[in-house]
Amino acid sequence: MTDPKFEQLRERLAEIDDLRKAATLLFWDQRVKMPPNGAPARAEALATVSRLAQERFVSDDIGRLLDDLRGLEESSDYDSFEASLIRVTRRDYEKATRVPPELVGEMRRAATLALAAWGPAKQESNFEALRPHLETNLELRHRYVGCFEPAEETYDVLLDDYEPNMKTAEVREIFMELKEELLPLVEEIGEAGAIDDSVVRSNFEPGKQRELGLEIVRRLGYTDEEWRLDETPHPFMSSPGAGDIRLTTTYRPNDLSSLFAMMHEFGHGVYEWGVDPSLARTPLGSGVSLGLHESQSRTWENLVGRSRSFWRFFYPRLQEIFSEQLGSVDEETFYRAINRVHPSLIRIDADEVTYNMHIILRFELEQELIENRLAVRDLPEAWNARMEEYLGVEVPDDARGVLQDMHWAGGSLGYFPTYSLGNVMSVQIWERAVEDLGDLDQRFERGEFGELREWLREHLYRLGRKFTPQETIERVTGSRIDAKPYLRYLREKLAPQHA
Ligand code: ZN
């Protein structure tokens, strides 16, 4: 017997989800298909659809239904669909109703303007052109934080939007542990001398990259019935509905990064693909947090896609496709080249080890900004000093420094740490999978990835947003977030080949 109030809530949420999915599709189309002059009209359409979804969600009706359903929630099993839907919706609702719609609108407008300024500012390496926009974004974030109960740290409120329930202090502790271990590792590897990776910096025809990339993701689980692949300058994954997973990638003619970008986005896609179909058209029907999402993109990109056993299977095919460039390069040389650790300027091109230092730097600067310990105008100097300190890299200009990422222009403060949290969790989850499945390398060498995918689906993807990120990681691994497995993995994988 279903509770009629619960059915009412479910119907409302399904409509709201449809509107959000429509917005997702409008956004996907904007980035993939739309001619440039469609931008102003599209901005209006997107704003309208998003506003309708938001208005419906924060309505008094939803609040009343949530109140009426307290009894059902308490009498239902914590894991049940009913209790989970009411619990998660209540949390979302309580957050959403605290922020006045005018402030939401102002933040969106400011971010749109700042993003429009970011492109040219980066192009001309002109921080001053972006500075006023960043100051506005920061001031709006202060107002946003003011909408919530005072937290232990101001940054907690921002972080919660991307990694719900996670506290700044907990992230800081994990990052301190990473820093302590990774700074000496970077130095150790640096002293051993750089690995030559010129074999993967050659001419690789984009059409052939696409062909091989598709062969790879098909082996991992991509099918033409449920997935598609397009080209955009910044790769992303989008899922405008169940059974509809869209990846994009970018093909650089001088390296093979598209293959890893495709596996990365596949990881985001397969998480969405694996959510229990019964959660579709509810707020539970997607990945639970950016950190856990990133744990899966990094799993498929790095733990699978940069492993020896993976290339034992795919390297002959790669050699066949690019025989001129790689025909006479042995597998080990190739493997070392794609796993080279080398401090560099750009986060998105960084290796598995130094990547985390790029994140820690941003995490620290964000806290200083929101706590008014650092002025926006002093940001470039602080950035450059810390790049020197952490990676020994001298930043030649702001385009390759503080202006490289779009996140701050887009108003996303508190987002960056989720990348490294994802790295950390990826290995915790991986170790549990290996405990259950046994040696994965033998399967990868035969081109078999289905068992890993199905294990992840069963233990993680299926859950969607039913539980908090912390509950989710504990259910999957039996422990809280813990940096040790990840640090062990990095050292075991990457130190020997640089010795
Ligand atoms: Zn990602």
CA 144 distance to own-chain centroid = 23
What pLDDT was estimated at residue 47?
86
Asked if residues 194 and 422 have their Cβ atoms less than 8 Å apart, the reply is no
Round to whole Å and give the CA distance between 446 and 455: 18
Confidence band for 191, pLDDT divided at 50, 70 and 90: confident
Specify the range with the lowest mean pLDDT, choosing from 36-40, 305-309, 339-343.
36-40
- Residue pair 353/185 in contact by the 8 Å Cβ criterion: yes
Lowest mean pLDDT among 67-71, 194-198, 210-214, 365-369: 194-198
Rounded to whole angstroms, the Cα distance separating 265 from 314 reads: 19
- Asked whether residue 35 carries a pLDDT value surpassing 80, the answer given is yes
| pLDDT band at residue 188 using 50, 70 and 90 as cut-offs | confident
**82, 265, 301, 364: which one is catalytic?**
265
C-alpha 150 – ligand 1 centre gap (Å): 31
Residue 138 has pLDDT above 90, yes or no: yes
For the entire predicted model, the pTM comes to 0.95
The one-letter amino acid code at 397 reads D
Residue 147 pLDDT > 90:
yes
d(Cα 335, Cα 340) in Å, to the nearest integer? 9
Ligand 1 centre to CA of 7 (Å) is 35
Query: Based on C-alpha coordinates, what's the Rg of the chain?
Result: 23
Q: What is the whole-number distance in angstroms between the Cα of residue 265 and the centre of ligand 1?
A: 7
Looking at residue 232, its pLDDT comes to 92
**What does the pLDDT average to over 347-352?**
93
**Nearest residue to 166 via CA among 351, 391, 416:** 416
Strand, coil or helix: what is 261?
helix
Give me the mean pLDDT over the 170-174 stretch: 98
Strand, helix or coil for residue 133: helix
Q: What is the mean pLDDT of residues 390-407?
A: 96
Report, as an integer, the average pLDDT of 294-309: 98
The pLDDT of 27-32, averaged and rounded, is: 91
Q: Please count the CA atoms within 13 angstroms of the CA of 7 that sit on its side-chain side.
A: 4
Residues with CB under 5 A from ligand 1 (ion): 297
The pLDDT of residue 269 is: 98
Rounded mean pLDDT, 232-255: 95
Name the one residue in this structure whose structure tokens are 């030649």: 396
Q: Which of 75-84, 120-129, 181-190, 256-265 has the lowest mean pLDDT?
A: 181-190
For residue 461, report the distance from its CA to the centre of ligand 1, in Å.
Answer: 16
Can you name the residues that pair with 247 across neighbouring β-strands? 229, 237
Spatial distance between the Cα atoms of 332 and 455, rounded to a whole number of angstroms? 29
Would you list the DSSP string of 353-408? TTHHHHHHHHHHHHHHHHTTSS-GGGHHHHHHHHHHHHH-----SGGGTTTS-STT
Banded model confidence at residue 499, pLDDT cuts 50, 70, 90: low
Nearest C-alpha neighbor of 245 from the set 21, 470, 12, 467 = 21
Residue 172, token pair as written in the block:
């800081």
363 and 416 Cβ atoms separated by less than 8 Å? yes
For the chain, what percent of residues have pLDDT higher than 90?
88
pLDDT at residue 112, as a whole number: 86
Q: Name the average pLDDT for the chain.
A: 95
The yes-or-no answer on residue 265 being catalytic is: yes
What average pLDDT does this structure show over 338-352? 93
| 253 pLDDT higher than 90 | yes
Q: What is the whole-number distance in angstroms between the Cα of residue 290 and the centre of ligand 1?
A: 8
Distance in Å, CA 264 to ligand 1 centroid: 6
The pLDDT of residue 20 is above 90: yes
Q: Is the pLDDT of residue 390 over 80?
A: yes
Least confident range of 20-24, 49-53, 324-328, 397-401: 49-53
Q: By mean pLDDT, which of 39-43, 124-128, 275-279, 309-313 is the weakest?
A: 39-43
- Which residues partner with 227 through β-bridges? 245
The answer, yes or no, to whether residue 430 has pLDDT greater than 90, is yes
If DSSP codes are grouped into helix, strand and coil, which group holds residue 245?
strand
Strands 244-249 and 227-231: parallel
The rounded Å distance from CA 10 to ligand 1 centre is: 30
Cα(210) to ligand 1 centroid in Å equals 19
- 81-95, 193-207, 278-292, 310-324: lowest mean pLDDT where? 193-207
The answer to whether the CB of 262 falls within 8 A of the CB of 217 is yes
Q: Is 290 helix (H, G, I), strand (E, B) or coil?
A: helix
pLDDT at 324 over 90: yes
Question: In angstroms, what is the span from residue 424 Cα to ligand 1's centroid?
Answer: 14
Distance between Cα 445 and ligand 1 center (Å): 26
- Residue 1 pLDDT class (50, 70, 90 cuts): low
C-alpha of residue 294 to centroid of ligand 1, in Å: 5
For residue 77, report the distance from its CA to the centre of ligand 1, in Å: 34
pLDDT > 70 fraction of the chain, expressed in percent and rounded:
99
**CB within 8 Å of 20: residues ≥ 6 apart:** 50, 53
When pLDDT is cut at 50, 70 and 90, the band that residue 449 belongs to is very high
- 125 token code pair: 């390496």
Q: Residues 208-242: pLDDT tens digits?
A: 999 999 999 999 999 999 999 999 988 999 999 99
Confidence of residue 126 (pLDDT cuts 50, 70, 90): very high
pLDDT band (50, 70, 90) for residue 108: confident
